Structure 1
């Protein structure tokens, strides 16, 4: 059977009134400072004394003094109340201006691509500290204390607000010129079974299959090769060294392709993946520090409507 509970009232009720009276040794001065009547002050103190179970003031027509219980209560309540007031001011400040610690969760492969954006943000908002935490693909933001996460489109939950950071990208297969000096380029994804393929292991422990689009039909190939890594940058680095072929997000390989250090193959079969998004739980929970980061990110938008960040991709 469901029980009815009520919130216990009065834990702090009357404490501020007591402190003002104790400080001024006057009900009238406390009333004037708080903007209420002396009778209201007197009633509040009586309720507080009844709840505590001890008289706090010695009162007569000429003066107000503290009882021993009042002295003890004043000595401990005053610093505690001042700390509560200070805590409230800190919280209020964080709710009114961009300040404090902004915690962002992102896959390790994405973090290097965010450095330029984060650097410019930190310079623009010196009261905000940014923490970039490498994490698994899907993080419980509330449970782990993050303000937002960087995720691929298909990993964004329906109840999350998602702000695009990059356009969609192709998942491409690349190898170094040195590798292709010893192997003929594959003409079809099935040809990869005769190639050394550099694989990556998902956060759930499974080896990722290589995905393709064959005449508008999805195709997945189980490949094999000399190296397994847990992130795209490591796989791409091995491909640059000529160890084998790698399937990586196109933005991650852009620099190597432009420099001639990588060669793309199987272009006609490259699938398109959603872009990268900054996502957070809901609009009503957005603190000024996160709103400032989102606005800063949008202000760095390129002509295609996406954020200018260095080439990078999410696992």
Structure 2
């Protein structure tokens, strides 16, 4: 197979994965017009249309779906072979793609990013989302999640730091509503709820002196962003149950105050997970070593 043909097939696989010429171009570090040219060239050479294109969407034809299904194992095998070579390098090298929770991304990747200055050949691509994704299907080298959200077939490494939730409200809110003394008191308060991408609402969990409980709260606002929740709480909308680090700047500035501190003792561990240690690149190994607890 000619080099040009192989290049066209890898471009085709990227467009098929994303169903987007623009996203394929971003992934490959080229322009959308170059991607479009490669696809036209491939379609002309094989004499079959592989994609339906409109100004709004891209979808695969039946022929395109058949080609992609046959190409995936071969391209994956080639990538594994190349990744295997990375293990022989003295210095971490290559691009490592990691999927991380959007609410925690700013606080957990510092040690990994410090590696980039030390190893010019290493690149880190971070995609932040609170949705659970299949890291293998989406082409990630690793993901970061709380322990209870890990798939059983993944290898998981506990990483630092641990996180703790805090219940916070604005001084103005507390001026009008006495601070809750126990989690049961939350039923009498306006609470800002967190919704997972699935639509499930997060219950507020507490522990004190061996007693553990969860509280299903109600309130005027439900959001899928902890930053939005912190901002709303600072505006007096209600109480928020958010990561301690997320609230830190608001607490330091006096815009938020804590309550139920003696009940907010549960610490959450995070894990970096990946599908296999086989052909693990030196770059991923270095990131694991830098982040593990």
Normalised by the shorter chain, which TM-score bucket? 0.5 to 0.7
Name 2:271's counterpart in structure 1.
277
Q: 227, 234, 237: which one pairs with 1:240? A: 234
> Does the 8 Å contact 1:211/1:271 carry over to 2?
no
- Cα distance change of structure 1 residues 167 and 278 upon mapping to structure 2, 3 Å threshold: same
Name 2:88's counterpart in structure 1.
96
TM-superposed deviation, 1:164: 2.7
Deviations 1:177-201 (A, max 9, x none): 2221221101122221222211111
Q: 130, 136, 147: which one pairs with 2:124? A: 130
> Does the 8 Å contact 2:167/2:260 carry over to 1?
yes
Q: 177, 183, 186: which one pairs with 1:183? A: 177
Name 1:121's counterpart in structure 2.
115
Instruction: Tell me, in whole angstroms, the C-alpha distance in 2 between the residues paired with 1:88 and 1:136.
Output: 28
> Does the 8 Å contact 1:198/1:246 carry over to 2?
yes
Describe the SS at the equivalent of 1:198: strand
Name 1:164's counterpart in structure 2.
158
Q: 248, 252, 255: which one pairs with 1:261? A: 255
Instruction: Tell me, in whole angstroms, the C-alpha distance in 1 between the residues paired with 2:108 and 2:149.
Output: 19
Q: Give 1:75-90 correspondences, 5 Å limit.
A: none
TM-superposed deviation, 1:288: 1.2
Structure exhibiting the larger radius of gyration computed from Cα positions? 1
Instruction: Tell me, in whole angstroms, the C-alpha distance in 2 between the residues paired with 1:272 and 1:233.
Output: 21
- Cα distance change of structure 1 residues 180 and 99 upon mapping to structure 2, 3 Å threshold: same
> Does the 8 Å contact 2:84/2:280 carry over to 1?
no
Describe the SS at the equivalent of 1:283: coil
Name 1:201's counterpart in structure 2.
195
Name 1:108's counterpart in structure 2.
102
Deviations 1:124-178 (A, max 9, x none): 2222221111234432221211111111122233443333322443322111222
- Cα distance change of structure 1 residues 290 and 209 upon mapping to structure 2, 3 Å threshold: same
Name 2:15's counterpart in structure 1.
none
Instruction: Tell me, in whole angstroms, the C-alpha distance in 2 between the residues paired with 1:88 and 1:189.
Output: 50
Structure 1 unmatched runs, 5+: 1-10, 12-85, 299-305, 307-315
Query: Number of matched residues?
Result: 215
Instruction: Tell me, in whole angstroms, the C-alpha distance in 1 between the residues paired with 2:190 and 2:261.
Output: 18
TM-superposed deviation, 1:218: 3.2
Structure 2 unmatched runs, 5+: 2-77
Deviations 1:224-282 (A, max 9, x none): 22211113222122212322110112232234334433221112322514222222223
Q: Give 1:69-80 correspondences, 5 Å limit.
A: none
TM-superposed deviation, 1:114: 4.0
Instruction: Tell me, in whole angstroms, the C-alpha distance in 2 between the residues paired with 1:219 and 1:296.
Output: 35
TM-superposed deviation, 1:89: 9.6
